[in-house]
Structure 1
Amino acid sequence: MDATAPHHPHPMIRLSGVSKTYGDGTVAVRQLDLDVGRGELVCLVGPSGCGKSTTLKMINRLVEPSTGVIEIDGEDVTHGDPVKLRRGIGYVIQQVGLFPHQRITANVMTVPLLYGESKAHARERAHELLSLVGLDPEQYGDRYPHQLSGGQRQRVGVARALAADPPVLLMDEPFGAVDPVIRGRLQEEFRRLQQELGKTVVLVTHDIDEAVLLGDRVAVFADGGRLLQYDTPARLLAHPVDEEVATFVGAEQGLRRLSVTRIDRSQLEPAGDLAEADLDTTVPVGATLEEALSLMLRHDRPAVAVTDGQELLGVLTPAGVHRSLRAALRE
């Protein structure tokens, strides 16, 4: 598969031949073709200085491209009014940038008020969004940013970016400044939120684990702003296009593949053949191999029962996990 092969006939975001060369001759991004489908979450990943943040900033023209065309929802936005463009795009950065002297509700109200909404409607919208990101407005709305934890401030940043109900959300290392436990919780909640709201999201991260956990597709960049591979997490881990991608994905790619490979019902065995299996130890058929294997290890079982929510479909053994991984490699 070509790293930059178009995926959607009518993408929400399309970058065609986009480059950024600075005055001193430094090439930040080189001839980039990238499509992001409507409602898709795409992660841009790569080492520091590989052009992923520059790419994100070119989409909302905080950085102007040197060459190429950027289209959003079929409209060429390369030469239009950048301020108008940004009003239709939510933007979340690592250091959230909340207004320190404004209460949390007022911070989230900022964008709706700029758009001319009444204070009452803007406040109502802010309270809805705070609830949506898991912050009770009654408890947190009147606090100031310094009275919140890093993870809570990050949630407020997401709420503020959603306040104008933008179809496109750009996120630059949004969970990078919080501790690992909180980060994992924020990632899971954000994935659920994105699926619920159907936003088109482009997220920059240096963390391959975050990219394969969150992304519908992952774009791997290299130094000099080159796009090496653009693929689903499962295909990226199973079929790195070259040694450079394989090295970046790392030695743990086999373990990471467990987290993105779903249970293959054709690899299940009849429950009757495994009397030892505790059939109370069950996973749904849509679970990942990692979830199934973790359950086996945690409960010291030779297999886990797999159900479709109502019926028992069979049991998955470690051998079945191995066969499922092998089958995924052939896809």
Structure 2
Amino acid sequence: MDATGSAPANVMIRLSGVGKRYDDGTVAVQDLDLEVLEGEMVVLVGPSGCGKSTTLKMINRLIEPSTGTIEIDGRDVTTADPVELRRGIGYVIQQIGLFPHQKIITNVMTVPLLYGESKATARARATELLELVGLDPALHAERYPHQLSGGQRQRVGVARALAADPPVLLMDEPFGAVDPVVRVRLQEEFLRLQRDLGKTVVMVTHDIDEAVRMGHRVAVFAEGGRLAQYGTPAELLAHPADEFVADFVGSEKSLRRLSVVPLRREHLEPMDGVSAGQLGAAIDLDTSLEGALVHLLGSDKSMVGVREGVQFVGVLTPAGVHRALRASLAEQA
């Protein structure tokens, strides 16, 4: 049991002393120790050429490590059959990799069919997954990849990766090929999926804003394949481990903190004397400060109502956002 009296989460992925050196002497990853807990989303972030994609590909043995061990759910993956290993790990890439000559429904059915599922069972699973990622099977199942938008194709890629119900999902720049508006929508959709399904996810990005928004924990890689810092987004923003991390996080870290700090009751003003006409659209208590500020700025009201479940617990004003941010900074000091 942990300090809260609940059982600690299992380690789903463990990298111990993992390194990758190529024949020409190039070191892509050096002496990497990293643990990912069951149901956790970990984001690997850093500049180009720092080893984050190499690390991801070593987990499913698309690239073989030169040193160290990699375990998934306690099993050393270097002893596993690589084909069987990859069938049990969902993999989503920026280029999506759909089969262009196959219909969308057939693309999603691929892995269940490889596992010996009947066509009827595989089709039912694929239909369910298309709905899960926000695509109407009646509209999209019989189309071909070129008939879908980039964002829609990316959703199909996620559905296909989930088709075998893998415990682990690896994602390499999954939202990098779509425009910024679609990218944010896909991020929100995937965060919802991850909360609902509880998959263990390792994702690669070069975008620190995406890393802070998506990750329970973030691993910042430096050039030469060095792990510069590993921690929660709030820890990285408040206490960069070195000058490289501080520079990579950037001068906007106080604004980024808004996306990782949740509202609390002590940030709110009482409902007493507040009429419905004074309030903008209501938000939930677990909304981030960023989301709360967006609601405030998008409203012509001076405050928004905050609810927990169906019950209103207070109102948030701009002064409350400021208090919440100051409190967060003090806690991390």
Q: TM-score range by the shorter chain?
A: over 0.9
Q: 3-state DSSP class of the match of 1:259?
A: coil
Q: TM-score, normalised by structure 2?
A: 0.92
Where structure 1 has 5 or more consecutive residues not aligned to the other structure, the ranges are: 1-7
Contact 1:89 1:166 in 2 (8 A): yes
- The one-letter amino acid of 1:22's match is Y
Q: TM-score, normalised by structure 1?
A: 0.92
Deviation, structure 1 residue 145? 1.1
Q: 3-state DSSP class of the match of 1:42?
A: strand
CA-atom RMSD in angstroms: 1.9
Q: 3-state DSSP class of the match of 1:189?
A: helix
Query: 1:210-247: per-residue Cα shift (whole Å, max 9, x none)?
Result: 11111111111110111111111122222222221111
Distance 1:239 1:275 in 2: 42
Query: 1:1-33: per-residue Cα shift (whole Å, max 9, x none)?
Result: xxxxxxx77300000110111111111011111
Contact 1:43 1:219 in 2 (8 A): yes
Distance 2:55 2:271 in 1: 51
Distance 2:129 2:270 in 1: 47
Match of 1:165 in 2: 165
Match of 1:120 in 2: 120
Query: 1:248-292: per-residue Cα shift (whole Å, max 9, x none)?
Result: 111211111111111132232334487899235432221111222
Distance 1:143 1:275 in 2: 51
The equivalences for 1:32-43 within 5 A come to 32-43=32-43
Contact 1:277 1:303 in 2 (8 A): no
Query: 1:67-108: per-residue Cα shift (whole Å, max 9, x none)?
Result: 111010011112332122112101111111111111111111
- The one-letter amino acid of 2:93's match is I
Query: 1:153-205: per-residue Cα shift (whole Å, max 9, x none)?
Result: 11111111111111111010111111111111111111111111111110101
Match of 1:150 in 2: 150
Match of 1:278 in 2: 278
Where structure 2 has 5 or more consecutive residues not aligned to the other structure, the ranges are: 1-7
Q: 3-state DSSP class of the match of 1:282?
A: strand
Match of 2:221 in 1: 221
Match of 1:3 in 2: none
The equivalences for 1:39-118 within 5 A come to 39-118=39-118
Distance 2:103 2:310 in 1: 48
Match of 2:293 in 1: 293
Deviation, structure 1 residue 314? 2.9
Distance 1:183 1:9 in 2: 30
Match of 1:141 in 2: 141
Identity of aligned residues (%): 71
Structure 2 CA distance for partners of 1:273 and 1:124, relative to 1, 3 Å:
closer
Q: Between Structure 1 and Structure 2, how many residues are aligned?
A: 324
Structure 2 CA distance for partners of 1:84 and 1:319, relative to 1, 3 Å:
same
Deviation, structure 1 residue 320? 2.5
Deviation, structure 1 residue 55? 0.3
Contact 2:161 2:169 in 1 (8 A): yes
Deviation, structure 1 residue 49? 0.5
Q: 3-state DSSP class of the match of 2:39?
A: coil
- The one-letter amino acid of 1:163's match is A
The equivalences for 1:201-212 within 5 A come to 201-212=201-212
Q: 3-state DSSP class of the match of 1:12?
A: strand
Compare 50-59 and 182-191 and name the one that shifted more. 182-191
Deviation, structure 1 residue 327? 1.7
Distance 2:79 2:316 in 1: 55
Distance 1:251 1:277 in 2: 38
Distance 1:309 1:198 in 2: 22
Distance 1:277 1:47 in 2: 48
